[in-house]
Chains A and B, each alone.
Chain A
């Protein structure tokens, strides 16, 4: 708790710098990632993030220090080379893109690991902490490093905002972008460079292995919440910020803990919550909606049962009798009855159940929809009267008042259905 207060009260200027740095790079990664995701190039982000490793090691080998400028140059160079290699091989051979990406990724990463092992064997003291570049360590970044990575991230963010409409058009409809005379090749080059830059800015804080996660996961989660590009960018940025800062905090509390994995863990939670609970497409949301719908159907059926009793001259029915109508569903039936009583649709007197006024009106509505639909099927679609019951049984729960009004108008307010049962209406 003390750590928490210390960290988030930002009294330590080092903490402020680290948080600022990681915020910028999370924002830039999420923004570039959003466009990469929409362009269906998520895997290329992964390839780039692995391919920057040999560049980092080469920079070490030649300078002998952890100079951030050279590291960035090296990382950018091999990252860009990998991007170019992927598009060149895909274009000039019959290999499919996913094959090429997988091959390029493993070749570059393999070479990177060879370099790294070699470096570690030299015993040079300056390279201790080189393994931070694999999984990241936000808190190990100091002074100049933050300045370099932070300004690169800012550059990426601004470039993306400047070319927002161009990139949007390029990704949605490349042919159209060409036809209006946009410099498509240059734009693509700029975008590819941004993709590499976004990865490069994260190599020390998040690490090369997991940087692809920060690129793609925020937007994948944001996709569940919106279908507008602007909102998607914004939500992805928020998700990335939260996980980036959380990762930095954890590596502040446990300095030996790599940051990258923690960022990815937090991101996974966000993503998991998104596809479970998002308002339209979430798994849990859909499960809940389905359950609600089934409950409503059951209530509708109870009302219909009671209406049948009325039609046959009865007044009401005992709970025991009612349960017999729904074998194997005693618990649901009791719950539904309770709900219907609460809504004042039913009244219950010593387990003798009757329709209240509101319930009668609702039961009439359901039966009316059922019978109107049956009549519509027989009259307008020439379906035999003995074939219409099953679909009517489903439609009665979902037809809206507007469609009901249309059905009534089409059929000219009929009095009976195809089976000569009366179509009930409220007297008014």
Chain B
């Protein structure tokens, strides 16, 4: 069940991506409409993060292309915000929460320019949206996992983008904070922003998202939540890895050349 849309903000065409020599996403073809809050669902190893990372240009494609706002990603990066997984950075880095959120303003500043008073105020207002102002000057390693996650979300807000890609933003966040952030994201979607969020919980996904992308090494479904959240599609998504795809992946991983690239 893959529903396409006219005038999409994200268009992914025939995308195949490998991690090293191990193919993890096969022939993904989907479109996302503007102003939606999109959930990316799938079991572990289904390629959820890979999809986001591929869109952001952090991985080489074997085939296919990605267009955002009908343009190359590199040409519209100022309108895109990315929230990486929390574990992907070393939180012992000598910085305060405010410093990290300020990084969200670097893009607009461009090279060479230093963030000033305006950027600081913006960063503080973003910290306020995620209820983190009291921790603005705390060393980031002293924050809890959920607080670190909120710092990342605040940094993303400081980018003032039109489309947001968030990789597991609710990992380690307590349930009341999660709900507050979801409300914030819903408001943003209502004001015309598009948000693509990797999520791991099917039950809350039904309540949170207007559009779902369901992955299991390939695209199982993409469409409005009420049409794709069916038992049959869920079973296809979570009913174990497709053994054939896994076998082929193993075959490619073991071979001394990469048939998808060479």
Contact = CB atoms under 8 A, between A and B. Distances in A.
Interface string B139-160: 1010000000000000000010
Interface string B67-83: 00000001001101110
Contacts of B81: 179
Contacts of A176: 82, 84, 103
A contacts with B: majority SS: helix
Given A169-B106, A228-B96, A178 B57 contact: yes
Interface in B89-133: 89-90, 93-96, 99-100, 103, 106-107, 109, 111-112, 114-115
Nearest to B115: A165
Contact of B103 (A162, A169, A223): A169
A171 B115 CA distance: 18
B112 A179 contact: no
B56 interface: yes
B53 interface: yes
A321 interface: no
20 contacts: A162-B112, A163-B112, A165-B109, A165-B114, A165-B115, A171-B93, A172-B103, A175-B53, A175-B56, A175-B58, A175-B88, A179-B58, A179-B77, A179-B80, A180-B77, A180-B106, A181-B74, A182-B107, A227-B139, A228-B96
A226 interface: yes
B74 A172 contact: no
Contacts of A166: 106, 111
A408 to B, nearest CB: 25
Contacts of A178: 56-58
Contacts of B90: 40, 172
Interface in A132-164: 162-164
Interface of B: 53, 56-58, 74, 77-78, 80-82, 84, 88-90, 93-96, 99-100, 103, 106-107, 109, 111-112, 114-115, 139, 141, 159
B141 A179 contact: no
Interchain residue pairs A-B with the least CB separation, the first 7: A181-B77, A179-B82, A180-B107, A227-B139, A229-B94, A179-B56, A227-B94
Interface residues of A, number: 25
Given A173-B89, A179-B56, 17 more contacts: A163-B111, A163-B112, A165-B114, A166-B111, A168-B103, A173-B88, A175-B56, A175-B84, A179-B58, A179-B77, A181-B74, A181-B78, A182-B106, A182-B111, A227-B139, A228-B94, A229-B93
Contacts of A169: 103, 106
Contacts of A227: 94-95, 139, 141
A304 to B, nearest CB: 34
A77 interface: no
Contacts of B109: 165
Nearest to B78: A181
A232 interface: yes
A265 interface: no
B93 A38 contact: yes
Contacts of A172: 89-90, 93, 95, 100, 103
A182 to B, nearest CB: 8
B82 to A, nearest CB: 4
Interface of A: 38, 40, 162-166, 168-169, 171-173, 175-176, 178-182, 223, 226-229, 232
A168 B102 CA distance: 12
A226 B141 CA distance: 13
B88 A229 contact: no
B21 to A, nearest CB: 12
B159 A180 contact: yes
A157 B81 CA distance: 32
B55 to A, nearest CB: 10
A228 B99 CA distance: 9
A166 B111 CA distance: 7
A314 B29 CA distance: 87
A223 B139 CA distance: 13
Given A175-B56, A179-B82, A229 B95 contact: yes
A229 B93 CA distance: 8
B89 A38 contact: no
Given A172-B89, A179-B58, A165 B94 contact: no
B162 to A, nearest CB: 14
A176 B151 CA distance: 14
Contact of A173 (B57, B78, B103, B107): B103
B128 to A, nearest CB: 22
A223 B159 CA distance: 30
A169 B95 CA distance: 11
B82 A175 contact: yes
A180 B156 CA distance: 11
B114 to A, nearest CB: 6
Nearest to A166: B111
B94 A173 contact: no
Contacts of A228: 94-96, 99
Contacts of A40: 90
Contacts of B84: 173, 175-176, 179
Nearest to B167: A175
A173 B156 CA distance: 13
B94 A38 contact: yes
A204 to B, nearest CB: 32
Nearest to A34: B94
Q: Name the residue in B57, B74, B111 with the highest tally of chain A Cβ atoms < 10 Å from its Cβ.
A: B111
A316 B58 CA distance: 75
